């Protein structure tokens, strides 16, 4: 029986009924959502936050065959996946077309949905900075967003010029209507049912590639200095990965290796010892790049992946440790580096 009929009707309007049915059976939805209002005139922001997360979850597993198989296997074993967080990459650069600079392209939609950047994570080895965005109404239950910015100004002039050519054509996926609804959500924490249905597709479009065709030469220039920026060149602001929160990471890893899945070689452990992470290696995807004759040619490049995390209780708060770890993150990021993964 569907315990959240209106939530999955909203999701179905964006990703289709078969996808909504698949998500309902396979992804854990927090029961605490029922403590928040939903009427035709006023849907609390927490429902829209969960709906967006479900849509993005489905979008990623559609793009990552290993992830789809993993989620289906968990379902067949009687377990629903616990969506812990998703990750996106942005570019801290002035020449980025119609998009706001860096993470501002996403803070403008995450904050109205109740997400707050609770901590900054230096990713110095990668010339990046990360932020953990946590949904403040249900922080332990609604999947977080790990939003990172790449800083081209720390790299060569030729690199920066290639970045400008790649992302300078970016279009804004959010309409003026989307932005107006987001402003209402920011002010009142609610929007109408009809507004939620109009807004959700635009929010999903934001998690994608907004720029046009990429030159082979620019791609290789970016790859020579930053595998992360090369990934952005082909994938844009798509979900880089989504993460299943598991109770026993070592047991899960042993089972995945028994099944001969494409696992990362090691488990990353946070400085506190309370957060442990590992991942599948990124899937390979075909992307067209423009050659010197202006002809699009297919190239195999790293796509997205599924990550796994175990979070222990923080003895000081008595609650689950929801933090990230800079060292862990930099280790996980190597999954999309074709030279290091």
Q: What is the mean pLDDT of each run of 10 residues along the chain (341 residues)?
A: 86 97 97 94 97 97 95 97 97 97 98 97 96 97 97 98 98 98 97 96 97 98 97 96 95 95 92 95 95 96 95 94 88 71 48
Residue 303 located in a structural domain: yes
Task: Determine contact, residues 55/15, Cβ cutoff 8 Å.
Answer: yes
State residue 340's pLDDT score: 54
Cα angle 50, 52, 53; round to 5? 65
Residue 329 has what pLDDT? 79
d(CA 341, CA 331): 9
What pLDDT was estimated at residue 175?
97
Strands 296-302 and 319-320: unpaired
For 223, the domain range is 5-336
Strand partners, 299: 287
On whether residue 17 sits in a domain, the answer given is yes
Which CA distances in Å does 88 have to 13, 56, 203, 299?
Answer: 24, 11, 14, 22
CA angle (101, 102, 106) in 5-degree steps: 100
Q: Which residues of 140-168 are buried (b: 16+ CB within 10 A; e: fewer)?
A: ebbbbbbbbbbbbeebeeebbebbbbbbe
Nearest to 241 by CA among 141, 132, 335: 335
Question: What is the CATH number for 310?
Answer: 3.10.180.50
- Residue holding tokens 């854990």? 28
In a domain, 287, yes or no: yes
Asked whether 341 and 284 are in contact (CB, 8 A), the reply is: no
- In this prediction, residue 331 carries a pLDDT of 77
Number of domains composing the chain: 1
Within-domain flag for 84: yes
Tell the residue number behind the tokens 């609770």, with chain if given: 118
Measured from the Cβ of residue 253, the count of other Cβ atoms closer than 10 Å reads 19
Beta carbons of 138 and 30 less than 8 angstroms apart: yes
Is residue 169 domain-resident? yes
Query: Is residue 53 domain-resident?
Result: yes
* CA proximity to 85, closest of 7, 15, 147: 147
By CB neighbour count within 10 A (0-12 exposed, 13-18 middle, 19+ buried), where does 298 fall? Answer: exposed
Q: What is the pLDDT of residue 338?
A: 64
Helix (H) or strand (E) holding 8: helix 5-15
Does the pTM surpass 0.85? The reply is yes
Is residue 341 a part of any domain in this protein?
Answer: no
In whole angstroms, give the CA distance from residue 335 to residue 341. Answer: 5
How far is Cα 290 from Cα 233, in angstroms, rounded to an integer? Answer: 12
Residue closest to 307 by CA, chosen among 257, 246, 248:
246
The verdict on residue 183 lying in a domain is yes
Number of H helices, E strands in the chain: 12, 14
């Amino acid at each position: 029986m569907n315990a959240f009929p209106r939530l999955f009707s909203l999701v179905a309007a964006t990703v289709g009924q078969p996808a909504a049915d698949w998500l309902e059976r396979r992804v854990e939805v927090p029961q605490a959502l029922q403590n928040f209002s939903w009427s035709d005139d006023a849907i609390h922001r927490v429902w829209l936050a969960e709906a967006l997360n479900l849509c993005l979850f489905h979008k990623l597993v559609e793009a990552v065959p290993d992830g789809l198989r993993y989620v289906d296997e968990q379902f067949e074993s009687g377990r629903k996946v616990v969506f812990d967080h998703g990750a996106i990459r942005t570019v801290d650069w002035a020449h980025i077309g119609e998009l706001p600079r860096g993470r501002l392209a996403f803070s403008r939609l995450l904050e109205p949905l109740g997400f707050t950047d609770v901590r900054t994570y230096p990713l110095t080895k990668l010339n990046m900075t990360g932020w953990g965005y946590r949904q403040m109404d249900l922080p332990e239950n609604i999947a977080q967003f790990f939003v990172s910015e790449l800083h081209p100004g720390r790299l060569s002039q030729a690199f920066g010029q290639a970045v400008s050519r790649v992302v300078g054509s970016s279009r804004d996926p959010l309409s003026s209507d989307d932005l107006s609804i987001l402003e209402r959500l920011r002010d009142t924490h609610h929007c109408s049912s009809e507004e939620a249905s109009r807004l959700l597709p635009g929010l999903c479009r934001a998690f994608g590639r907004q720029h046009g065709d990429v030159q082979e030469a620019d791609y290789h220039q970016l790859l020579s200095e930053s595998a992360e920026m090369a990934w952005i060149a082909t994938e844009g602001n798509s979900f880089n990965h989504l993460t299943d929160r598991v109770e026993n990471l070592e047991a899960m890893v042993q089972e995945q290796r028994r099944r001969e899945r494409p696992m990362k070689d090691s488990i990353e452990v946070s400085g506190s010892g309370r957060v442990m992470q590992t991942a599948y290696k990124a899937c390979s995807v075909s992307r067209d790049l423009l050659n010197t004759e202006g002809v699009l040619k297919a190239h195999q490049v790293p796509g997205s992946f599924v990550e796994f995390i175990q979070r222990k209780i923080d003895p000081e708060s008595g609650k689950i440790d929801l933090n990230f770890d800079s060292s862990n993150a930099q280790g996980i990021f190597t999954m999309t580096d074709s030279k290091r993964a």
